[in-house]
């Protein structure tokens, strides 16, 4: 049994979160730093290296105490080369040789993958996925992303796009998406998507509703407002939530019909609506799956919150284990 540890890093546009974990995925130390995206993001990797080395000193640890470092990052990841490109919220427009820099700066082996995939690995390993071989994770945030683990393998696809659940077409005549096509799940179930659905349905709704009144009044309405008003019984807000859950249930249903994972795990900001959301997604999931999938695949809520990223990132480093 190795008593060595791993380091997990969850790099985002606002903060970089760090954790030191055991090989069983238990977090022993956790900290974070601000992400400095100035000067085309050139400070980011040096800041990460300095922070790791500083904390190893602090905890009286050395590079030899670690199997490796794993990191989840925005942008397009080349896992074989250990590079990232096109992470616009980090100001990384050109190719970033992350692995080379971090391995040189810390003396510890390094692996990386994209942030949604890494969160999926975390939820599958230590969260709602219960370490099952087949788990799908969907993150409902500003955008909609995801990661797919099947037969104990994270799926990437030929160009690294596997798991881009947000761009499943749920309505061939739906809203235009930033990706250039129409009717993507993201357009109707991200935080902004929920509000988009509300504004669209408001045009045809004539009854009594606080949500409708707020929209008509030109107030800033958030996805959280929609779910809160729905939970209070606002008829129009319930219609909006039902429509959002119809689309999520359709997408989850087709993921189930195609991949039959043991669970499809809903995470991200929108999933803060909790059981209120989950039960409604499940209703449509059941409608859109055939019997054997209906009986074997379940819809769950994520359990790790913000820790999913660092835990999943840490698991990437286990590939370096002897």
Residue keyed to tokens 């945030």: 141
In whole angstroms, give the CA distance from residue 35 to residue 288: 42
Rank residues 35 and 187 by Cβ distance to a copy of itself and give the closer one: 187
From 116, 135, 113, 138, select the one nearest 126 (Cα to Cα).
135
Q: Quote the least distance from Cβ 257 to a copy of itself, whole Å.
A: 5
10 Å CB burial of residue 117 (0-12, 13-18, 19+) is buried
Rank residues 58 and 153 by Cβ distance to a copy of itself and give the closer one: 153
Q: Quote the least distance from Cβ 318 to a copy of itself, whole Å.
A: 17
Residue keyed to tokens 């683990």: 149
Rank residues 106 and 297 by Cβ distance to a copy of itself and give the closer one: 297
Rank residues 48 and 168 by Cβ distance to a copy of itself and give the closer one: 168
Rank residues 21 and 248 by Cβ distance to a copy of itself and give the closer one: 248
Q: Does 95 bind a copy of itself (CB under 8 A)?
A: no
- Taking CB under 8 A as the binding criterion, the range among 91-99, 116-124, 157-165, 217-225 that sits at the site for a copy of itself is 157-165
Rank residues 56 and 239 by Cβ distance to a copy of itself and give the closer one: 239
- Taking CB under 8 A as the binding criterion, the range among 64-72, 151-159, 193-201, 210-218 that sits at the site for a copy of itself is 151-159
User: What are the contacts of 236-241 at 24+ separation with CB within 8 A?
Assistant: 236/198, 236/201, 236/202, 236/205, 236/207, 236/209, 236/211, 236/212, 237/198, 237/209, 237/210, 237/211, 239/201, 239/205, 240/194, 240/197, 240/198, 240/201, 240/211, 241/273, 241/276, 241/277, 241/280
Token reading at 199: 């504004």
In whole angstroms, give the CA distance from residue 228 to residue 297: 28
Convert residues 294-313 into a mask of x (bound to a copy of itself by CB under 8 A) and - (unbound).
-xxx----------------
The count of residues interacting with a copy of itself (CB under 8 A) is 47
Segment (H or E) for 151: none
Pick out residues in 158-217 that bind a copy of itself (CB under 8 A): 158-165, 167-169, 172, 177, 179-181, 184
Residue of the chain from 51, 192, 210, 254 that contacts a copy of itself (CB under 8 A): 254
Secondary structure E strands in the chain? 5-11, 15-21, 27-34, 66-73, 76-78, 83-85, 110-114, 135-140, 144-150, 153-154, 263-267, 298-301
Pick out residues in 257-296 that bind a copy of itself (CB under 8 A): 257-262, 287-293, 295-296
Rank residues 271 and 297 by Cβ distance to a copy of itself and give the closer one: 297
Q: How far is CA 73 from the centre of its chain?
A: 11
Q: Quote the least distance from Cβ 138 to a copy of itself, whole Å.
A: 11
The upper half-sphere exposure of residue 228, i.e. CA atoms within 13 Å in the direction of its Cβ, equals 6
Residue of the chain from 82, 122, 147, 253 that contacts a copy of itself (CB under 8 A): 253
Convert residues 16-35 into a mask of x (bound to a copy of itself by CB under 8 A) and - (unbound).
--------------------
Rank residues 181 and 232 by Cβ distance to a copy of itself and give the closer one: 181
108 neighbors 46 (Cβ within 8 angstroms): no
Site for a copy of itself, rule CB under 8 A:
132-134, 148, 150-151, 153, 155-165, 167-169, 172, 177, 179-181, 184, 250, 253-255, 257-262, 287-293, 295-297
């Amino acid at each position: 049994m190795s008593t060595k540890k791993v380091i997990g890093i969850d790099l985002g546009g606002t903060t970089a979160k760090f954790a030191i974990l055991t090989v069983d995925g238990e977090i022993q130390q956790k900290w974070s730093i601000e992400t400095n995206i100035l000067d085309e993001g050139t400070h980011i990797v040096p800041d990460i290296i300095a922070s790791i080395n500083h904390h190893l000193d602090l905890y009286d640890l050395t590079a030899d105490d670690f199997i490796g470092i794993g990191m989840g990052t925005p942008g397009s990841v080349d896992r074989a080369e250990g590079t990232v490109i096109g992470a616009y919220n980090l100001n990384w427009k050109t190719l970033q040789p992350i692995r080379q820099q971090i391995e040189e700066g810390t003396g510890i082996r390094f692996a990386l993958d994209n942030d949604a995939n890494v969160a999926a690995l975390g939820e599958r390993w230590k969260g709602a996925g219960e370490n099952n071989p087949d788990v799908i994770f969907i993150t409902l945030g500003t955008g909609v992303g995801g990661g797919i683990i099947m037969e104990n393998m994270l799926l990437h696809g030929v160009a690294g796009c596997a798991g881009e659940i947000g761009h499943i077409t749920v309505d061939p005549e739906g809203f235009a998406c930033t990706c250039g096509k129409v009717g993507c799940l993201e357009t109707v179930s991200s935080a902004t998507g929920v509000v988009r659905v509300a504004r669209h349905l408001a045009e045809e709704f004539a009854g009594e509703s606080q949500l409708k009144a707020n929209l008509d009044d030109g107030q800033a309405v958030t996805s959280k407002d929609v779910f809160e008003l729905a939970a209070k019984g606002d008829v129009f807000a319930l219609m909006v939530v039902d429509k959002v859950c119809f689309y999520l249930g359709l997408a989850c249903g087709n993921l189930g019909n195609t991949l039959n994972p043991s669970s499809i795990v809903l995470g991200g900001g929108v999933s803060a609506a909790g059981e209120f959301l989950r039960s409604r997604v499940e209703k449509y999931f059941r409608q859109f799956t055939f019997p054997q999938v209906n009986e074997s695949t379940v819809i769950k809520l994520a359990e790790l919150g913000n820790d999913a990223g660092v835990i999943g990132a840490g698991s990437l480093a286990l590939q370096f284990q002897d």
